[in-house]
Structure 1
Amino acid sequence: MIGSGRAHGGLYLLEASSQDSLPSIDSSHEALQADSSPALLELHQWHRRLGHPSFGVLGKLFPLLVKQCTHNKFICDACELAKHKRTSYPSFNNKSTAPFMIVHSDVWGPSRVVTLSGYRWFVTFIDCYSRVTWVYLLRHKDEVFSCFRTFHKMVSTQFDAKIRVLRSDNGTEYANGEFRAYLADHGILHQTTCVDTPAQNGVAERKNRHLLEVARSLIFTMQVPTNFWGDAVLTAAYLINRMPLSTLDFQVPLDLLQGTSLGHRFPLRVFGCVCFVHDHRPSRGKLDPKALRCVFLGYSATQKGYKCYHPSSRKTFVSMDVTFHESVAFFPSSSSLQGESCVIQEEMDFVCPPTRTATIQGEAGVPMEGEQVTCDVERATINQPSKCGRLDRNDLKTYVRSRLPVKCQTEQTTCVPPTLSQSHSPTPGPSSPPSSSNFESSGTDNPVIVDIDVPIAVRKGIRSCTQHPISNFVSYSSLSPSYRAFVSSLSSVSIPQGWKEALADPNWKEAMAEEMRALEKNGTWDFVGLPNGKKPVGCKWVYTIKQKADGTIDRYKARLVAKGFTQTYGIDYQETFAPVAKMNSVRVLLSCAANQGWLLHQLDVKNAFLHGDLEEEVYMEMPPGFSSQTTNGKVCRLKKALYGLKQSPRAWFGRFHKAMVKIGYKQSNADHTLFIKRRGDMITVLIVYVDDIVVTGNDSDEVSKLKVHLAREFEIKDLGSLRYFLGIEVARSDKGIFISQRKYVLDLLKETGMLGCKPVDSPIEVNHRLMSGDGDLVDKERFQRLVGRLIYLAHTRPDIAYAVGVVSQFMHDPCTTHLDAVYRILKYLKSAPGKGVLFSNHGHLELEAFTDADWAGSINDRRSTSGYCTLVGGNLVTWRSKKQSVVARSSAEAEYRAMAHGICELIWLQTLLRDLGIVCNKSMRLYCDNKSAINIAHNPVQHDRTKHIEIDRHFIKEKLNEGMICTPFVKSEDQLADVFTKGLSSRFFHSIVCKLGMRDIYAPT
């Protein structure tokens, strides 16, 4: 009897245990042991060792064993699961007559399961004559061209042969200008398939199927998690190249290619079995085990040894000193056999792939004696692990380090509080004494050196990986107790995502009620019926927390905001312009405060927009959560400006301007949100951003009078010393003033699922080749949202300015490569979430600028990228990275345009400082590393090369003649603006970032 079942609802329910529902993959092996001859058992063992070849292939390899068998076949569940197929296409006999006359190629992927080294694809190159197969693992499809160049050089060097024809499909990885130009330059004919006719590339398609069949068989036999599919594919290629093929009349591909039988370099073993590797590490003690229990993952491409993976130490060993237990599976039998999910896969789904490099996983299918093949880019000697998890490819020894799946956990916190994971965080407890030089923070002078379009981390949810915990990159041990409490409180309260959630919390419910009382008290609206032909605007609730200077919660703030995007110009609004404080101005004030010892205070205007009167007739829907029977069918006729309306900022600023002028403050010409009042040598400065106000200066009496006056005009909250302004955290000590967006970065990493990612040490690759249409399209709105948040973050992170500028060029048609570049920036931010700009007291307020240009750096249109940064009092205050609007015909021209931009910025800064009463009699220094551009600026020479930039030339020459600026030459290694024009190597990048004055007071010590 096979089974029994009971009738239920017209169906019979089969009664079977969970163990019976899916037989073990080894059930066929057990059946063979129970009812088979010893010869058949031994033949089956070779079947498993050799990657599950057919019975006919085994007959050619072991004719004596086959003759002793009573059966001419055996049942293998792994083969059935891995090789089950439909009917094949008819074959065509048009083989080439010499090696490498025709090379077939195809790309497989992307795999939903990313390997532990971050690979999602592989590309194959098959010699049509011998059917020898080369396999290269890829992280991105655009690496195919690089792989082909490597393969082409290998063929030329190792086999002294020339490739005549390359056959592939019409994928963009093959059919692009760069690839075609390379083939044309080397006389290689590129034959492609017709549309939707994959059978024309049948050799490569069939080879991919063969590789995957063998790889799946290897995986299923020993229940190997699918994270290791890359090792399985490389092992499959290694084995297939050394076994007879029916298409070659059962000749061995490698033998046919070499013209002689090479045999096996060392005995073959069952993939995924338990093995014991002799421990050669010098750190092994006398009483420690002499071997490590590992899993066998194939054969090395560059060394004569077995690849063995040791999970507990997170290392891969390449050794010949190995003992195998081929009948014992390393991984438990509970691993999933079908589908792509398994225990280890769930642990690694959200670990982001490592950064792309020029070196690609080498072909492991054809390692021959004396042949050097590029190998795993993640390798390094285990006794010298490099900092931050980076691995040195030049130190490849017998012991090899690789990435390991690690246990992961769902992230529970919105950011990292000071009490995070005391077991692995250096944060001191409450009783710990503050460090000797606390920065409210004590600063340190040492810098801290797959849907397919969606990264797996995002699809799987917000998680964190214990291999790279965020506590390794954020510490609060350098902060004073008061400032530590402040930064902790920023994340101590969760913000509700909707009004229903807010009403469930008494604190937020009271905040909403307080907002409604303030609106009604101010006479903001009347309840009326909606007139015919009028359309009301919607509204929503927005929530935030207001903190005091000591970090304690001042109040829960709920704000009713109108949905102004539904307004219509000319009907319910007219003029809308209102000045907004420039972040450049804020940084200039901070530099002045650091150099002059000015105080810094912060004020908040409660319900600021309600102080502005509306001139237009505007109707708004009832506030969510506050409708009643008396207001059913009615709308709000607005009489006062409300947050969200297009005209509200203009109405509010007009009211605020009148209040400031009334008490003698003058508006700056450089920034209209800046108000200044001088009394002799005393000065008071105010800058306003909507309802957030920063006050600085050296006149404490005037500051007190200003607060009293503003309190009479508006409802003002005095927040004390400046600590948190527009999402920017401000810390002050005797070292200076430090600004960062630590919480903003941590929130961004959490929302994108990148808290557990492996960090990288630069925001963009050196010599990146990002271009339009490169890859599959991704979600445009999501891409724009991410880039927009990074643009705001760049206000305190000049180190990402260039990278953000590059990805922002692809807002309209973002592709997978562009999204990968965005996620690389996030991985870089993970390495130092608390990094920011330090404003120190250098004893002067001189103006300096550095300008640079990357000539023809954009591969899309060959336009140059200008970059500049300016310093006030030795502190970085403004910076910019921008593609030039026209194509420059020479590097001197590109540099000259960058100089013009830098001079414009210096002139604006000079105007701003003059308004602040700061006059510098010295010429402003504009540093440039291009002597030709400097010569053109000083002398009217080379007219043919400069006549098309006459305006810039006359502008710069005029400022030089006035003595306003001087243009000293600077060496390229000291050119600070270089970081704003191109991707730099890690060492050079961090050197410049340090010189710019960036520090990380949150770096673990």
Structure 2
Amino acid sequence: MENSATAGVIGKGKVILKLTSGKTSSLCNVLYVPSLRRNLVSGSLLNRAGLKIVLEGDKVVLTKNEDFVGKGYLSNGLFVLNIISINANASSSAYVIEYANLWHGRLGHVNFTSIRKLKDLRLINTSESHETGKCPICVESKFHKKPFKPVESRTTDLLELIHSDLANFRTTTSRGGKNYYVSFVDDYSRFIKIYLIKTKNEAGSMFLKFKAESENQLGKNIKRLRSDRGGEYSDKALKEFCESNGIIHEFTAPYSPQQNGIAERKNRTLKEMMNVMLLSSDLPDNMWREAVLSACFVFNRIPHKRVDKTLYELWKGHAPNLSYLKVWGCLAKVPFSALMKFTIGSKTFDCIFIGYAQNSAACRFMCLNDKTINESRDAEFFEHAFPLKQSLYAPSLSKRMHDPENTSIVSETPVSETVNTSNLRCEVELRRSKR
């Protein structure tokens, strides 16, 4: 680089070069530097990959075990290799590169043990699965007290026992006006479903909704419900409903929340993932609704601690597709039909990726132009760019987004041809559009 300038390295991984000869070569321990506008390969790195370099005037020839691999030509003082990009959607600074830190971000900053399990299950493609250093966001956002002694699962099938707990966000009302969420954790699979509510009194009705959804999808019946002794679980209507449906409602002993440890630990994990997402993107706290829904979506797709399957597979019966996961809060350029009719000018809006649609093959985005929330199947993601954190757009945008008195920044009204599905709770398999 000129003038002794430096560039930050944000990742290290494996790059697969596909040359015009049709042959490929794998390079390990390649540094990922998004600020570089060109891909640079050192001769010593090629040698370590087993390639022999032969210079012939203004041409360089690569061979391996006396077999021709590829060639390149001199241009502006550098030899340019004849390489074919094997991934049309790859970053402009690398052809193929997948590394642990990127998946750490995509999976809501989950621990690296889970990343290794996903790699072993061949659900993700990453050349590295070990922690490359402490994640400052994880250190900042996670604090653990001494854990409760774990209660071993004794169930042998789905819906035999459901754990439930309430999460309180009364000090920070979400953009949609929610103050709580209630969680339901299946004891056998550890699969978790959450429902956002305005008041505690809605928790009982959410159990009725969860029961109808899960029993209809799985063809099984809930046998037991376990919760603490909070008033939201002690109302007469819920008691009568459980009795009429043959559901045994188990309560923890007074002043012993540890007995509901499974639900409480899952809520703690979701809150930590949510907090990481908000801190890493610099989105305001009242966007916790989108963050916690995304955290739950991702959490269900990590492996069970004692079974070599994801929670999703134990619940659904088939492995999830993780190829569409992206880093929460990153920049995304989203096309909208209203712009397609214009011949000249941009065809996309700059947005922030804020999660996954719950009943369609789409993602959720917040438009930086008017702060509306929309859903779309098509987008280009820039997973190392965070618009609010880097203040790329408007210098006062981040400040205005964090202003607790400004409640009109984000509207839930779509401005494009999208489907509003924020009030429906069901898991779907997302697939990127092939258009």
Aligned mates of 2:199, 2:294 — CA distance in 1: 21
Matched, 1:125 2:184: yes
- Aligned counterpart, 1:295: 352
User: What SS does the corresponding residue of 1:224 show, helix, strand or coil?
Assistant: coil
TM-score by structure 1 length?
0.31
Match of 2:273 in 1: 214
Separation in 2, partners of 1:71, 1:57: 10
SS at match of 1:361: coil
State the alpha-carbon separation in 1 of the partners of residues 423 and 143 from structure 2. 29
**In the alignment, residue 270 of structure 1 is paired with which amino acid?**
V
Task: Return closer, same or farther for 1:284/1:131 CA change in 2, 3 Å cut-off.
Answer: same
Once the two structures are superposed, residues 379-412 of structure 1 have per-residue CA deviations (whole angstroms, 9 ceiling, x without a partner) of xxxxxxxxxxxxxxxxxxx9xxxxxxxxxxxxxx
2-side partners of 1:284 and 1:112: how far apart?
A: 45
1:272 and 1:105 map into 2 onto residues whose CA distance is 29
Q: 2:240 aligns with which of 171, 175, 181?
A: 181
What's the counterpart of residue 277 of structure 1? 334
Q: CA deviation at 1:334?
A: 7.4
Between the two structures, name the one with larger relative contact order (CA 8 Å, sep ≥ 6).
Answer: 2
87, 93, 99: which one pairs with 2:158? 99
CA offset digits 1:113-161 (Å, max 9, x no partner):
2211111111111111101110111112211122111111111211111
Tell me how far apart the structure 2 counterparts of residues 70 and 179 of structure 1 sit (CA, whole Å): 45
Retained in 1: the 8 A contact 2:222–2:247? yes
Distance in 1 between residues matched to 2:429 and 2:99, nearest whole Å: 28
User: Structure 2 counterpart of 1:223, which letter?
Assistant: D
1:236 is matched with 295
Would you say the 8 A contact 1:37–1:69 is kept in 2?
no
Q: Contact 2:400–2:406 at 8 Å: present in 1 too?
A: no
Maintained 8 Å contact 2:162/2:187: yes
Say if 2:344 is the partner of 1:320: no
Q: Distance in 2 between matches of 1:291 and 1:163?
A: 46
The residue aligned with 1:920 is: none
Q: Which residue identity does 2:365 align to in structure 1?
A: C
> Alignment RMSD, CA only?
3.4
Alignment equivalent of 2:100, drawn from 43, 54, 67: 43
Aligned-pair distance for 1:256? 1.2
* Equivalences for residues 316-355 of structure 1 within 5 A: 316-333=373-390, 343-348=400-405
Following TM superposition, by how much is the alpha carbon of 1:342 offset from its aligned partner in structure 2, in angstroms? 6.4
The answer to whether the 8 Å contact 2:158/2:315 transfers is yes
- Percent identity over paired residues: 26
Which TM-score applies when normalising by structure 2? Answer: 0.68
2:128 and 2:101 map into 1 onto residues whose CA distance is 11
Instruction: Give 2:311's aligned amino acid.
Output: P
Give the AA of the match of 1:261: A
**1:252 corresponds to:** 310
| Pair 1:70–1:194, CA change in 2 (3 A) | closer
The count of corresponding residues between Structure 1 and Structure 2 is: 330
Q: Deviations over 1:912-965 (max 9, x none)?
A: xxxxxxxxxxxxxxxxxxxxxxxxxxxxxxxxxxxxxxxxxxxxxxxxxxxxxx
Shift of 1:84: 2.3
Cross-structure match for 2:428: 367
Tell me by how many angstroms 1:285 deviates. Answer: 4.3
What SS class does the counterpart of residue 327 from structure 1 fall into? Answer: coil
In 2, are the aligned partners of 1:138 and 1:361 still within 8 Å (CA)?
no
Residue aligning to 1:145: 204
After superposition, the Cα gap between the structure-2 partners of 1:50 and 1:110, relative to the gap in structure 1 and judged at 3 Å, is closer
1:175–1:278: structure 2 CA closer, same or farther, 3 Å change rule? Answer: same
Whether the 8 Å contact between 1:113 and 1:349 is mirrored in structure 2 is: no
Alignment of 1:30-179 (within 5 A): 33=11, 37-38=29-30, 42-62=99-119, 73-179=132-238
In the TM superposition, what is the alpha-carbon distance from 1:55 to its structure 2 partner? 1.5
List aligned pairs for 1:469-868, cutoff 5 A: none
Provide Cα deviations, 1:560-602, integer angstroms capped at 9, x if missing partner: xxxxxxxxxxxxxxxxxxxxxxxxxxxxxxxxxxxxxxxxxxx
**How far apart in 1 are the matches of 2:271 and 2:380?**
28
How far apart are 1:242 and its partner, in Å? 0.9
In structure 1, what is the Cα distance between the partners aligned to 2:391 and 2:340?
Answer: 35
C-alpha distance after superposition, 1:445-485 (max 9, x if no partner): xxxxxxxxxxxxxxxxxxxxxxxxxxxxxxxxxxxxxxxxx
Question: What corresponds to 2:35 in structure 1?
Answer: none
Seen in structure 2, the aligned counterparts of structure 1 residues 295 and 350 have a Cα distance that, compared at 3 Å, is closer
Residues 276, 324 of structure 1: 8 Å contact kept: yes
Distance 1:168 1:285 in 2: 56
Larger helix proportion of the pair: 1
Inter-partner Cα distance in structure 1 for 2:115 and 2:307? 14
**Larger radius of gyration between Structure 1 and Structure 2:** 1
Unpaired segments of 5 or more residues in structure 2? 1-6, 14-27, 33-97, 393-397, 412-420
Alpha-carbon deviations, 1:825-862, whole Å to 9, x = none?
xxxxxxxxxxxxxxxxxxxxxxxxxxxxxxxxxxxxxx
Residue 40 (structure 2) aligns with? none
- Does the CA contact (< 8 Å) of 1:122 and 1:136 recur in 2? yes
1:304 corresponds in structure 2 to 361
CA 1:73 to 1:33, structure 2 compared with 1: closer, same or farther past 3 Å?
closer
Amino acid at match of 1:85: H
Q: Residues 32 and 305 (structure 1 numbering): CA distance in 2 closer, same or farther, change over 3 Å?
A: closer
Distance 1:250 1:216, change over 3 A: farther
Report the alpha carbon displacement of residue 250 of structure 1 after superposing the two structures with TM. 4.4
**Is contact 1:136–1:363 with CA below 8 Å preserved after alignment?**
yes
Q: Distance in 1 between matches of 2:177 and 2:142?
A: 26
Q: Contact 1:39/1:68 (CA < 8 Å) preserved in 2?
A: no
Gaps of 5+ in 1: 1-28, 336-340, 370-397, 399-1005
Letter matched to residue 258 of structure 1: K
Partners of 1:173 and 1:342 in 2: how far apart? Answer: 37
Flag the 1:67–1:139 CA change in 2: closer, same or farther, 3 A: closer
Instruction: Return the alpha-carbon distance in structure 1 between the equivalents of residues 310 and 349 of structure 2.
Output: 35
Q: Is residue 349–residue 369 contact of structure 2 (8 Å, CA) maintained in 1?
A: no
Amino acid at match of 1:259: G
Partners of 1:145 and 1:223 in 2: how far apart? 34
Give distance in 2, aligned partners of 1:59 and 1:96: 27
CA contact (8 A) 1:113 1:345 kept: no
Aligned to 1:13: none
Residue 199 (structure 1) aligned with residue 258 (structure 2): yes
